[in-house]
């Protein structure tokens, strides 16, 4: 506890999943936070639960005026901004390249990429003036390796986030402001249900099932949890990471590291049996 004492943070997409758990843990670690989301009832309920160290502001993260107002609200209410976690996102259109709709493509890029740009744009002046700050952008392993999302649009957008992070890190690092991203693997949240077309309410009931489905997807024998990403964000927001800049921190239990050992050994066993049967 206390790793974020004295810090002021803004967390977008904080009404569910990773953002909600990050908000809870940031407050536990001593931060004052402003949380943002589109769903006012959920945001206000979370702010009420977390108490005086938390303020909610309903925000469309694709709208520049609203993102500017969000950052300004943190500065006015808590006296500054030390950390911005650009976490807001959502699923994108699934299917192959021939069926993509331009309007849905543009909407996904606005939610997943423009929002990150806007957050950095309006947090940067405050952080540069104080000579310090940490910006954290939520990437994805789907932005690093093809085939880890049901949507090619989502993968492309997250790749853009990861590279935009590195580009801005080279600029703002010269002013003492660090910019990094976190790329989650299979985290048990409602985003998978939303990607499959479920209602928000129904999708938010799926994490328990996701824990079972993903528990063998990577070498670590469990699904990823929102806590795993939240604590990675704590590290990047804290002074513990003061020399970490332009990095994409992969939190995926090893799924993108290569082929699971047991699968590899099973493959060798099958190959050996095939040779023996052929030469028998």
Tens-place pLDDT, residues 232-262: 999 999 999 999 999 999 999 999 999 888 8
| Residue 273: pLDDT band with limits 50, 70, 90 | confident
With respect to residue 257, please indicate whether it lies within any of the assigned structural domains: yes
| pLDDT score recorded for residue 280 | 64
| pLDDT score recorded for residue 146 | 96
With respect to residue 135, please indicate whether it lies within any of the assigned structural domains: yes
With respect to residue 207, please indicate whether it lies within any of the assigned structural domains: yes
With respect to residue 209, please indicate whether it lies within any of the assigned structural domains: yes
With respect to residue 178, please indicate whether it lies within any of the assigned structural domains: yes
First-last CA distance in the chain: 64
How many domains are there within the chain?
1
The 3 state secondary structure assigned to 88-151 is: CCCCCCCECHHHCCHHHHHHHHHHHHHHHHHHHHHHHHHHHHHCCEEEEEECCHHHCCCCCCCE
| pLDDT score recorded for residue 248 | 98
With respect to residue 29, please indicate whether it lies within any of the assigned structural domains: yes
Task: Report the CATH number at residue 135.
Answer: 3.40.50.720
In this prediction, residues 185-194 reach a mean pLDDT of 76
| Residue 200: pLDDT band with limits 50, 70, 90 | low
Q: Which residues are catalytic?
A: 154
Within the chain, where are the H helices?
17-28, 40-50, 64-78, 102-109, 115-130, 152-172, 191-195, 200-203, 207-213, 226-237, 261-279
Q: Higher model confidence: residue 50 or residue 215?
A: 50
Among candidate residues 160, 169, 9, the one with its CA nearest the CA of residue 89:
160
The CA-atom distances, in angstroms, between 47 and each of 27, 253, 261 are 11, 31, 44
Q: What's the rounded Cα separation, in Å, for the pair 1 and 81?
A: 20
Q: Higher model confidence: residue 133 or residue 195?
A: 133
In this prediction, residues 115-141 reach a mean pLDDT of 98
> pLDDT, tens digit, for every residue of 2-51?
999 999 999 999 999 999 999 999 999 999 999 999 999 999 999 999 99
- Bridge partners, residue 183, by sequence: 250
Whether residue 213 has pLDDT greater than 90: no
| Residue 224: pLDDT band with limits 50, 70, 90 | very high
In this prediction, residues 207-227 reach a mean pLDDT of 85
In this prediction, residues 104-117 reach a mean pLDDT of 98
Q: What percent of the chain has pLDDT over 90?
A: 79
| Residue 275: pLDDT band with limits 50, 70, 90 | confident
Average pLDDT, the chain: 93
Q: Higher model confidence: residue 241 or residue 266?
A: 241
Q: What's the rounded Cα separation, in Å, for the pair 19 and 191?
A: 12
Q: What's the rounded Cα separation, in Å, for the pair 125 and 114?
A: 18
| pLDDT score recorded for residue 132 | 98
Q: Whole-model pTM?
A: 0.91
| Residue 63: pLDDT band with limits 50, 70, 90 | very high
Among candidate residues 247, 237, 180, the one with its CA nearest the CA of residue 3:
237
Asked whether the beta carbons of 55 and 112 are under 8 A apart, the reply is no
Whether residue 271 has pLDDT greater than 80: no
With respect to residue 1, please indicate whether it lies within any of the assigned structural domains: no
With respect to residue 124, please indicate whether it lies within any of the assigned structural domains: yes
Residue numbers of the domain that contains 159: 8-279
Whether residue 152 has pLDDT greater than 90: yes
């Amino acid at each position: 506890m206390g790793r974020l004492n004295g810090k002021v943070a803004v967390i977008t997409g904080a009404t569910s999943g990773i953002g909600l758990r990050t908000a809870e843990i940031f407050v536990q670690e001593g931060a004052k936070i402003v949380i943002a989301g589109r769903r006012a009832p959920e945001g206000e309920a979370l702010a009420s639960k977390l108490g005086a160290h938390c303020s909610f502001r309903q925000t469309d993260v694709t709208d520049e005026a609203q993102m500017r107002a969000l950052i300004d609200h943190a500065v006015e209410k808590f006296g500054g901004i030390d950390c911005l976690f650009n976490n807001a996102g959502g699923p994108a259109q699934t299917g192959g390249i021939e069926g993509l709709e331009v309007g849905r493509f543009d909407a996904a890029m606005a939610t997943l990429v423009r929002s990150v740009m806007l957050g950095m744009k309006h947090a940067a002046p405050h952080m540069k003036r104080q000579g310090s700050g940490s910006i954290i952008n939520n990437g994805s392993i789907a932005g690093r390796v093809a085939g880890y999302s049901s949507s090619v649009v989502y993968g492309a957008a997250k790749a853009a986030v990861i590279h935009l992070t590195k580009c801005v890190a080279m600029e703002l690092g010269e002013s003492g402001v660090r910019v990094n991203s976190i790329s989650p693997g299979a985290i048990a949240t409602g985003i998978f249900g939303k990607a499959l077309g479920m209602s928000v309410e129904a999708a938010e009931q799926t994490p328990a099932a996701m824990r079972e489905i993903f528990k063998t997807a990577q070498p670590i024998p469990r699904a990823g949890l929102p806590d795993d990403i939240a604590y990675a964000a704590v590290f990047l927001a804290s002074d513990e990471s003061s020399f970490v800049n332009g990095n994409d921190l992969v939190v995926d239990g090893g799924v993108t590291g290569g082929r699971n050992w047991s699968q590899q050994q099973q493959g060798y066993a099958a190959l050996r049996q095939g040779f023996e049967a052929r030469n028998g």
